[in-house]
Amino acid sequence: MSSTIEHGQEMRPLSSVAFVDQTGKLGGAELSLLDLIRSREGKKRAIIFEDGPFVNELRRMDVDTQVCLLGDRAAAVRKQSGTLGKIYAVRDLLNHQRRLQKALHGFDVVYANTPKALVTSAIASGRKAGKLIYHLHDILSASHFSSLNRKLLVTLTNFYADCVIANSDATAAAFKSAGGRSSLVSVVPNGFDLLAFSKAIERASDYRQAIRNVENIGMNVPVVAVVGRVAAWKGQHVAIDAIARTPNAHLWIVGDALFGEDKEYMTSLLRQVKELGLIERVNFMGQRTDVLPILQAADVIVHCSISPEPFGRVIVEAMLSRRPIVASRAGGAMEIIEDGKTGRLTQPGNVQELVDCICSLVGDSSEKSRMVDAAQKSASERYGLNVVADKINQIIDNVACVQRAKV
337: buried, middle or exposed (CB in 10 Å: 19+, 13-18, 0-12)? buried
Write out the H or E segment, with its range, that includes residue 314: helix 313-320
Q: What pLDDT sits at residue 93?
A: 72
Over residues 28-84, the pLDDT tens digits come to: 999 999 999 999 999 999 999 999 999 999 999 999 999 999 866 555 555 444 454
Looking at the predicted structure, is the pLDDT value of residue 403 above 60?
no
Looking at the chain, the whole-number percentage of residues with pLDDT higher than 90 is: 79
Q: Give me the half-sphere count of Cα atoms (radius 13 Å) on the Cβ side of residue 3.
A: 3
Largest CA distance in the chain: 70
Q: What is the pLDDT of residue 262?
A: 86
Fold assignment, 194-383: Rossmann fold (3.40.50)
Mean pLDDT over 341-352 rounds to: 98
Residue 92: CB atoms within 10 A of its CB come to 18
Average pLDDT over residues 156-177: 97
pLDDT averaged over every residue in the chain: 90
Q: What DSSP line would sit under 87-133, residue for residue?
A: HHHHHHHHHHHHHHHHHHTT-SEEEE-SHHHHHHHHHHH-TTSSEEE
**Is 109:131 a contact under the CB 8 Å cutoff?**
yes
Flag whether pLDDT at 123 surpasses 90. no
Q: How many CB atoms lie within 10 A of CB 363?
A: 11
Is residue 147 over pLDDT 60? yes
Phi-psi label, residue 308: left if phi above 0, alpha if psi -120 to 50, beta otherwise: beta
Confidence at residue 365, expressed as pLDDT on a 0 to 100 scale: 85
Res. 327: pLDDT tops 50: yes
Q: Name the residue ranges covered by the structural domains of the chain.
A: 4-191+385-401, 194-383
| 275: pLDDT strictly greater than 90 | yes
Nearest in space to 365 (alpha carbons), one of 300, 272, 305: 300
352 vs 97, more confident: 352
Please tell me the distance from the alpha carbon of residue 25 to that of residue 27, in angstroms, as a whole number. Answer: 6
pLDDT at 374 over 80: yes
Q: Residue 6's pLDDT is what?
A: 53
- Res 196 pLDDT > 90: yes
Strands (E), 239-372: 250-254, 282-286, 300-302, 325-328, 344-346
Q: How far, in Å, CA of 225 to CA of 329, rounded?
A: 18
pLDDT at 73: 58
Mean local confidence (pLDDT), 236-261: 93
354, 239 Cβ separation under 8 angstroms: yes
pLDDT at residue 96 in the model: 81
Q: What percent of the chain has pLDDT over 70?
A: 88
Average pLDDT of 313-319?
98
Residue 345 pLDDT? 98
Domains 4-191+385-401 and 194-383 share a fold: yes
The gap between the terminal CA atoms of the chain, to the nearest Å, is 34
Is 88's pLDDT higher than 60?
no
| 388: enclosing H helix or E strand | helix 385-401
Residue 107 pLDDT class (50, 70, 90 cuts)? very high
Nearest to 27 by CA among 293, 299, 188, 256: 256
Q: What's the mean pLDDT in 303-322?
A: 97
Q: Which fold has domain 4-191+385-401?
A: Rossmann fold (3.40.50)
| Residue 198: pLDDT band with limits 50, 70, 90 | very high
333 pLDDT more than 70 = yes
